[in-house]
Structure 1
Amino acid sequence: MAQGIFFRAIFNCNKNFRKPAAILANIHTHNIHTNTEVPTKEIQIPIQYGHIAAKLWGNDQERPILALHGWQDNAGTWDTLAPMLCQNRSILAIDFPGHGHSSWIPPGMHYYTWELPRFILFLKNFFNWDKVSILSHSMGSIASLRFASVFPDDVDCYIAIDSLVADDFNLDHVVERLPSILNKIELEQSRLNDEPPSYPIEELHKMWHLGTRKSVALESVKYLSQRGTKPSTKDPNKYYFSRDSRLKHTLFQPENKKFVEALVQRLKCPTLYIKGIDSPFASDEFSIEMRELIEKNNPDYEIHFVPGTHHVHLNNPERLAPLIMQFMKKHNLRI
């Protein structure tokens, strides 16, 4: 690939977006808080209503691995794993809209899960990538499978952590909850400009830890909170969750099983699925059927079970790094 194609794409963006100088002014290098202290770069990718924030590990002159986080997390979810992988291949971790440092969607709108595969397509087109290499977790993994299935020739590898398809929801339970969810969505729309409740940082970290059912280890919360909290304007000693509050009530609508099966059967790129043994997600009967269907149809699919929670990649990255490097080497994908 030609030298500089990654960041040259920034200079070729639509003339209606901000000028490159305004984008590059927001790029800086710093050390993340890991043992390896690998330098990273922060960038902003322009979109119609603001920007997508992203964090780059490694060389900015080549096509990176695109890293996609889970629901209500952010690019910090890769702070412990990415430094173990980026020596020979750069990693670009984005904050999905409403998460981390990325812009929120406009008032009056709501988050829709099929927008996430579209964002992968947007990034591919924006950077003029020939292929997309994906490292993903949870909501990001589900979005990535959808993209890799709809655009099977545009993905050269797909690495999924703890999720592949949306869990098989109880439809009666979903319908029963809809009135409450829709009312909460309306309430959140009315207070988008209000500062959320704030807490001492230690208390906020405990809330984040417990809010994930202890999936994010208490000592790992700091990686997410760096991008997911802001100091209160009312009390400088307190912090609040800075992600878009509308995300809490995202409508994860169950899809027709035949539709999901049709998607899964189109997944043909080399696929690595790593499942946390201690995670309750993706353990339902339908999820198991779908990964067995992938195994049947895709000769380049492999699965590994590792001890750990839903956030095993963040809490225990040393358990995943060797599997990922072995997978990439097996398929002649440099890492």
Structure 2
Amino acid sequence: MPLPENEWYIEAPWGRIAIIAWGDCLNPPVLLCHGSLDTAATFRPLVQLLPENFYYIAMEFPGNGKSDWYPPGMMVSCYDLVYPIAVVVQHFRWEKFTFIGHSLGTVIGKLYNLSYPGKMAKVINLDPLTHLITLPSEDFSMWYHSYFSKFYEKFDKLNIPKDTGPVYKLEEAIENIKLKRGLTTEGAVATLDRMSEPVAAGTIRFTYDQRMKLVTPPPFSSEGIRKLFTSIPTPTLSLLAEKSIVNGLYLRTPFKLEESAYPHGKYRVRRVQGNHDVHFVHPERLAGFVSQFLLYGPEGLDSKHKL
């Protein structure tokens, strides 16, 4: 039987945070955070394959999905996306919760975990590409101009009001999302439903905040990122997409592929066939690993408890 789904908003200082919830609110909570320019719909197929004895809540970052935007003119950094998680956690009064993130969501989850230690009981990373900049000192100028100068050079375009954006044909928008992310038609439609609005017959306008295309990452050295991330003692499972590995997307953070790089002994890695959105396109390839980890933690993957 499919888990019941509910949708509502949580009030934040700048506006509303949109969430989708599945299951019984009396069960242990699991918070899910999407990646860049995405929506909570990305988790629907996976959640339906997970154990029923958890309460799953997918939130949408400001300017994504149906969540309100940050105030106009404001630059948005990875750090600015940490506090929305805190708002959701405070709203539900969670003492502890399990975190599942995809892509950029995994980085924001790491920054939250470092800023609010002890709140996350377990962490599950879905293809955790590094959105933090690995930066040698001689490239600092490049980093600054790539984000700060670029933001102000494109200020008008990045701060364009929602109702004045360009209009696209619905069919073309669906095909573009399918091509760009390798989604099915159903997945593309579900994504588009939460990040666009109809304008006229057969046309839509995207409703995401253009600033989300230029979220500013903090710069770290490769060694700094390794020390920062591997210092976290929270039991963690990382599910890495084979296409991302083949395409070299983990070359700057090879420690993510090595369980031995994490000194606390609570880090597990599993590789799955598929692209960056494999959790959305082929959730069955990840569901077993996620379920075992939710129920039993790292030991569940080691001893292969039966679901």
Please confirm whether the aligned pair reaches a TM-score higher than 0.5, indicating the same fold.
Answer: yes
The superposition leaves residues 6-63 of structure 1 with CA deviations (integer Å, 9 ceiling, x where unpaired) of xxxxxxxxxxxxxxxxxxxxxxxxxxxxxx6543101210011211010001112344
Match of 1:112 in 2: 77
Which of 168, 183, 201 pairs up with 2:170? 201
Unaligned runs of 5+ in 2: 301-306
Whole-angstrom distance in 1 between the partners of 2:162 and 2:235: 44
Q: Does 1:183 align with 2:144?
A: no
Match of 2:6 in 1: 41
Q: Which residues of 2 match residues 1-335 of structure 1 at below 5 A?
A: 37-163=2-128, 165-166=130-131, 168=133, 171=139, 174=143, 177-178=146-147, 179-189=149-159, 191-210=160-179, 212=180, 214-232=181-199, 235-279=200-244, 283-292=249-258, 295-331=261-297
Q: Which amino acid aligns with 2:170?
A: I
Match of 1:11 in 2: none
Report the CA distance between 1:277 and its aligned residue: 0.4
Report the CA distance between 1:84 and its aligned residue: 1.2
Q: Which amino acid aligns with 2:254?
A: I
The 1:148–1:177 alpha-carbon spacing in structure 2 relative to 1, beyond 3 Å, is closer
Whole-angstrom distance in 2 between the partners of 1:167 and 1:124: 24
The superposition leaves residues 190-221 of structure 1 with CA deviations (integer Å, 9 ceiling, x where unpaired) of x21543222232211112233x3x34344421
8 Å contact kept, 1:184–1:249: no
8 Å contact kept, 1:166–1:254: no
Helix, strand or coil: the match of 2:49? helix
Helix, strand or coil: the match of 1:278? helix
TM normalised by structure 2 equals 0.86
Further displaced range: 289-298 or 193-202: 289-298
Helix, strand or coil: the match of 1:260? helix
Further displaced range: 150-159 or 191-200: 191-200
8 Å contact kept, 1:168–1:286: no
Helix, strand or coil: the match of 1:304? strand
Q: Which amino acid aligns with 1:188?
A: L
The 1:185–1:308 alpha-carbon spacing in structure 2 relative to 1, beyond 3 Å, is farther
Report the CA distance between 1:267 and its aligned residue: 1.1
RMSD: 2.6
Report the CA distance between 1:264 and its aligned residue: 1.3
Whole-angstrom distance in 1 between the partners of 2:134 and 2:229: 18
8 Å contact kept, 1:138–1:163: yes
Match of 1:32 in 2: none
Whole-angstrom distance in 2 between the partners of 1:291 and 1:167: 17
Match of 1:9 in 2: none
The superposition leaves residues 103-160 of structure 1 with CA deviations (integer Å, 9 ceiling, x where unpaired) of 1011121211112222222322222111121011001011112222343322110000
Further displaced range: 222-231 or 253-262: 253-262
TM normalised by structure 1 equals 0.79
Helix, strand or coil: the match of 1:182? helix
Unaligned runs of 5+ in 1: 1-35
- Count of paired positions: 294
Report the CA distance between 1:73 and its aligned residue: 0.2
Q: Which amino acid aligns with 1:195?
A: T
Report the CA distance between 1:175 and its aligned residue: 5.3
Report the CA distance between 1:283 and its aligned residue: 2.9
The 1:62–1:79 alpha-carbon spacing in structure 2 relative to 1, beyond 3 Å, is same
Report the CA distance between 1:305 and its aligned residue: 0.5
Helix, strand or coil: the match of 2:168? coil
The 1:181–1:106 alpha-carbon spacing in structure 2 relative to 1, beyond 3 Å, is closer
The 1:294–1:112 alpha-carbon spacing in structure 2 relative to 1, beyond 3 Å, is farther
Whole-angstrom distance in 2 between the partners of 1:291 and 1:307: 15
Whole-angstrom distance in 1 between the partners of 2:260 and 2:71: 37
